[in-house]
Amino acid sequence: MVRLAPLRAATDETLVQELLRYVRFSDEDARLLRALRPLAAPHFERIATAFYDRIREHDDAHDVFTGEEQIKRLQGSMVRWMDRLCAGPHDEAYFKKTLEIGRIHVQIGLPQRYMFTAMALIRVELLRVVDDTMGEESRACREALDRALDLELAFMLEGYRDHFLARTQQRERLERAEVDLALRRTEHRYVSAVELARVLVVGLDREGKIRLFNREAERVTGLGREEVIGAPFHEALLPEGLRDEQAGLLHALLEGRESRATLDDVESAVRTRAGKIRDVRFQFAYAPGDDDDIVLFAVGRDTTDENALAVRLRQNEKLAAVGTLAAGLAHEIRNPLNGAQLHVTFLERGLRKSGADGDQLEAVHIVGEEIKRLGKLVSEFLDFARPKPLELRPTSVHAVCERASKLVEARAIQTGVTLALELPATELVLDLDTPKIQQVLLNLLQNAVEALQPTGGGAVTLRARRRPRDVVIEVEDDGPGLSSPDAPIFDPFFSTKPEGTGLGLAIVHRIVTDHGGMIDVDSHPGRTVFRVSLPVRLGAHGAESNTGKILA
């Protein structure tokens, strides 16, 4: 690894040439990398995908990203970087771009250690390509690639260090100028009552600017106190949808227009560094001090997981109550329906023999079809009311998705819908009840295709991806969306289809929650996404390592 002296604010050509000579990077090395470029280019996208699949497995690395769109952009940037690494030219402009990569890593909050591990993964993959493609020149090309990657990492680290140092100095200046006196005066009380508390504690001055931001607030939001001290509370922390509403309440408290000095249980939310929303229940307390440095305390408790659990419990209670009713109703209806179907069939056969007219036959046929529809409804009642225990086994998520896609393919083609499958390069294996998860995906895919039928076509995408603690499977369509984003679509007997029973998504919800997972929907005109999250258990990790026994 090359050890570089600190770089000046802007690199110059003399310094770049000096570093190139220091690692003995020659014109021959540049030629070998250019020769490698067309041979390695087909592998760049695979390497970038594998790298970000690995990132998904680690909380502190994955949490810095705002979403899948950003990850896709970064994958594209990595492909372009590998191409630039081979193509050169390795001059001043080239290494200025490398310095910028280090600066961006600090900006998004990526821990420095991942720069080393990322380079190790890329190095191994590219050296493998060299060994497979460069023939007699492979040894020389390996050395050239090592030199180039060492230079890249050295410049990235230098850019990371410079930008990180600037942020650290900014924080130190801020602490010296604004916080040091208050910390010295209240150090013991602050550490014991504020810093170690498992609640968010935010102190505001008379202008509503943040002057105190404790450790729990940093943990929940992902923001460092040096980033928010001095910023208005509603702009720094509140999501856009709550800013106008709660900014008025905040100003009323700060100006003494709110009659109560303490306001309890204000349901609110905070926006994290990664752009996610966390539910928070705040208590606001007006408590001005001698110097009025802090006049209002916002003490909050993160209720995101609690609220999600409450929603799941309410849904399960609904399902249990309706299931009991459905079981009794289905039992009472099934036998009369079977008898009615038998007699309708007998009547239709008799009318045909007697030469009855078409209207009579049509009427009998309609009665028979309606009885069949009721029979199907009764069967769905029973499936919903008497779910069988899960039979878990190691299951390939790729295989389940591919099979579900194939089963819906004919219907999609008939409807004019394009069906796409997006699966990660790394195999995903979970402990699942395979037929039931298959039923979940079929139901969601069929609903997506049916939603596009009135429009004459469209696109449906089935994708899966790994996150640190779960696997997410999404079904997305570009149809008109739900009529109302608040519609209780997972409640039994709620349906947007004229002929629907309203049990399909209720059964889907039950299967997913029985697996310990969650399902939600994000819908607006032009894009609807059903998102199923299934937990990764230790058993699934064991199955992943035992690839010879993966079951579909």
Q: What is the pLDDT along the chain (552 residues), one digit of tens a residue?
A: 334 444 444 444 566 677 677 778 888 888 999 999 999 999 999 988 888 888 777 776 677 777 788 888 888 888 888 898 898 888 777 777 776 665 666 566 666 666 677 778 888 999 999 999 999 999 999 998 888 888 777 777 766 666 666 666 676 776 666 656 655 565 666 666 677 778 899 988 888 899 889 888 998 998 988 889 999 998 888 888 787 777 777 777 877 666 565 577 788 888 888 888 888 988 888 877 666 678 888 898 888 878 877 776 776 676 666 666 666 666 667 667 777 777 778 787 887 778 777 777 788 778 877 777 777 767 766 666 666 788 999 999 999 999 999 999 989 999 899 999 999 988 899 999 999 999 999 999 999 998 898 888 899 999 999 988 899 999 999 988 887 767 777 776 666 665 666 677 888 888 898 898 989 888 888 899 999 999 987 443 444 433 334 444
The CA distance from 473 to 189, in Å, is 47
What strands lie across the sheet with 458-466, from one edge to the other?
417-422, 458-466, 470-477, 527-535, 518-524
pLDDT on residue 1: 37
Return the pLDDT at 4.
40
pLDDT confidence of residue 160: 65
pLDDT of residue 541: 40
What's the Cα-to-Cα distance from 373 to each of 301, 369, 380, 384, rounded to whole Å?
50, 6, 11, 16
pLDDT at position 374: 75
Report the pLDDT value the prediction gives residue 18, as an integer from 0 to 100: 73
Q: So what's the pLDDT on residue 35?
A: 93
pTM: 0.57
Torsion, CA 506, CA 511, CA 514, CA 520, rounded to 10 = -60
Instruction: Note whether 340 and 371 are within 8 A (CB).
Output: yes
Does residue 543 come out as left (phi exceeding 0), alpha (psi in the -120 to 50 range) or beta? alpha
Can you give the pLDDT at residue 407? 92
Closest alpha carbon to 430 in 463, 400, 462, 461:
400
Where are any strands of DSSP class E within 308-467?
393-396, 417-422, 429-432, 458-466
The answer to whether the CB of 265 falls within 8 A of the CB of 303 is no
Residue 303 tokens, joined: 């209720």
pLDDT for res 323: 64
Locus of tokens 């000579």: 21
What is the maximal distance between C-alpha atoms in the chain?
104
**Terminal CA-CA length for the chain:** 45
The answer for residues whose C-beta is within 8 angstroms of residue 495's C-beta and 6 or more apart is 501, 502, 504
Q: Residue 541 forms beta bridges with which residues?
A: none
Q: What is the pLDDT of residue 546?
A: 39
Length of the chain: 552
Environment class of residue 347 by beta-carbon count within 10 Å: exposed (0-12), middle (13-18) or buried (19+)? middle
Phi–psi pair at 442, nearest 5 degrees: -60, -45
CB environment 37-66: b (16+ within 10 A), e (fewer): beebeebbeebbbbbbbbbbeeeebbebbe
